[in-house]
Amino acid sequence: MSGTYDILIIGGGPGGYVTAIRSAQLGFKTALIEREHLGGICLNWGCIPTKALLRSAEIYHYATHAKDYGLTLNGSMGFDIADIVKRSRGVSSQLNGGVGFLLKKNKVDVIWGEATITKPGEVMVKASTKSVAGPPIDAPKGALATGPYTAKNIIVATGARPRALPGIEPDKKLIWTYFEAMVPQAMPKSLLVMGSGAIGIEFASFYRTMCADVTVVEVMPQILPVEDAEIAALARKRFEKQGIKILTGAKVTAVAKGSDSVTATIIDEKGATQSITADRMISAVGVVGNIEGLGLEALGVKMDRGCIVTDGLGNTNIPGIFAIGDVAGPPMLAHKAEHEGVICIEGIKGLHVHPMDKLKIPGCTYCHPQIASVGLTEAKAKDAGYELKVGRFPFMGNGKAIALGEPDGLVKTIFDAKTGKLLGAHMIGAEVTELIQGFVVAMGLETTEEELMHTVFPHPTLSEMMHESVLDAYGRAIHM
């Protein structure tokens, strides 16, 4: 393995490995440095395994509601949390191996260890002493190649880790991050979730479906703070109907640990205090970029609020050093990291690329019901000075949704009244994480309301609601 490359990428998560593959496709001699897991947090401890857990919960939900579909299941219904976790870990392991295969297929060298950028164009690699979540799944013994490596271009793709609040640090036993929440040794009877972003809400949804008593505490006035307020309000109603207790405008100020439980002191926006005791607590108050130990400060790489400052093409203020993904700032999403990496490497190649437009990055939350969005919320569109046309169509008006037994939900679209430009789309309901891409494509193509109105949507599908929502924005809805 030679020590000189065209491109060195630090971090093997979605951003890093996708960038490495695209780099090799463009003819660059490429190496990827990873300290722990190919696929990063997303594949091993985030996006993928949580979806496996939520799939088990979804099937359990439908099985326990079989009578709603005219079905009778003989025997008792139950679950084994160990088997659910085992399936989830198996899914991650399978895909982890797939990433290794793709890198090998594309002739990308994988260097195992921790990287430090000693100067522009040079990276020192040493044996890894840090472990985010346990021993590597895929790093073979003896695979480490220590020493200096050189490359004209170095791309930092080191991702992020759970944020910890002072005095409420996770301890792996009673206070969990998403690492521990994904592999419970036993199902807690009660759970307190601190934070109602995508991570917190997905775990709240999973554990509630699996019969735990769940309370969510959110410091902001609404749950899912980045989502449209109308969608978040509908989500809250659905969650509370399922039995999830929700406290907004509230803050956990202290936690007392018992032998097998935690008691949290919570203060609401009016200053009233209450205590909640639960078997376990999940800290889901966001993530922070992995910028430490890389040598960035000594090189003078510009930082802002724990993230590396970049332009729309991944350039930092130091020539030859680039950053992509979570470490380059929000939105901290795997698909953003992947696209950002492709833009970065194609820019290095000298291809004509469009800078990242963060307004066109969709967000998805895989709770029950699902939530998906792209673009501006109604409030942000108003704040930006737009005159709006807003369309809404409820799941109750859609034949496919009723046939599926999923009549609760809403598709909401927001247009610029002057130009017909689609400013944002927001959804809650069954399978909306699959539907949202239609609006993402429309925004990317700068589609107007007229073109969407004249698009033929198949029947019967959930996607028809997208069409009806557009029609409703202009007073032309057919089925409402």
Give per-residue pLDDT as tens, 412-422.
Answer: 999 999 999 99
Is residue 72 packed enough to be buried (19+ CB in 10 Å), middle (13-18) or exposed (0-12)? exposed
Residue 249 and residue 387 in one domain: no
pLDDT at 147: 81
Residue 135 clears pLDDT 50, i.e. is over it: no
CATH code for the domain in which residue 404 is found: 3.30.390.30
Residue 351 and residue 388 in one domain: no
Boundary (domain end) residue, out of 251, 269, 285:
285
C-alpha count within 13 angstroms, C-beta hemisphere, residue 464: 16
Q: Highest-confidence range of 39-43, 96-100, 204-208, by mean pLDDT? A: 204-208
pLDDT at 146: 76
The active-site residue out of 339, 368, 454, 459 is 459
Most distant CA atoms of the chain, gap in Å = 67
How far apart CA 378 and CA 153 sit, in angstroms, is 41
Q: Do 325 and 16 touch, CB atoms closer than 8 A?
A: yes
Q: Collapse the DSSP code of 393 into the 3-class scheme (helix H, G, I; strand E, B; otherwise coil) and give the result.
A: strand
CATH code for the domain in which residue 299 is found: 3.50.50.60
Residue 261 and residue 330 in one domain: no
Residue 103 and residue 21 in one domain: yes
pLDDT band at residue 136 under the 50/70/90 scheme: very low
**pTM to 2 decimals?**
0.94
- Please compute the mean of the pLDDT values over residues 335-359 and round it to a whole number: 96
Residue 158 and residue 193 in one domain: no
- Please compute the mean of the pLDDT values over residues 230-242 and round it to a whole number: 98
pLDDT at 141: 47
- Please compute the mean of the pLDDT values over residues 437-445 and round it to a whole number: 97
Residue 19 and residue 157 in one domain: yes
Residue that has been written with the tokens 């005219």 in this structure: 70
pLDDT per position as a tens digit, 243-294: 999 999 999 999 999 999 999 999 998 899 999 999 999 999 999 999 999 9
**Residues of the domain holding 157:** 4-46+84-162+288-358
pLDDT at 68: 95
Residue 393 and residue 466 in one domain: yes
- Please compute the mean of the pLDDT values over residues 205-232 and round it to a whole number: 98
Asked, for residue 479, whether it belongs to a domain, the answer is no
pLDDT per position as a tens digit, 330-339: 999 999 999 9
Mean pLDDT over the full length of the chain? 94
pLDDT at 37: 87
Residue 139 clears pLDDT 80, i.e. is over it: no
φ, ψ (nearest 5 deg) of residue 251: -135, 135
pLDDT at 130: 60
Residue 342 and residue 420 in one domain: no
Asked, for residue 169, whether it belongs to a domain, the answer is no
Residue 108 clears pLDDT 90, i.e. is over it: yes
Token representation of residue 177: 């991050």
Residue 91 and residue 213 in one domain: no
Residue 418 and residue 466 in one domain: yes
Residue 180 and residue 266 in one domain: yes
Boundary (domain end) residue, out of 358, 393, 412:
358
- Please compute the mean of the pLDDT values over residues 308-329 and round it to a whole number: 97
Residue 358 makes CB contacts below 8 A (sequence gap 6+) with 331, 336
454 tagged catalytic = no
pLDDT at 36: 87
- Please compute the mean of the pLDDT values over residues 30-48 and round it to a whole number: 93
Residue 152 and residue 301 in one domain: yes
- How many domains does the chain fold into? 3
Token representation of residue 242: 């399922």
- Please compute the mean of the pLDDT values over residues 182-210 and round it to a whole number: 97
How far apart CA 454 and CA 198 sit, in angstroms, is 34
Boundary (domain end) residue, out of 231, 257, 285:
285
Asked, for residue 68, whether it belongs to a domain, the answer is no
How far apart CA 7 and CA 456 sit, in angstroms, is 45
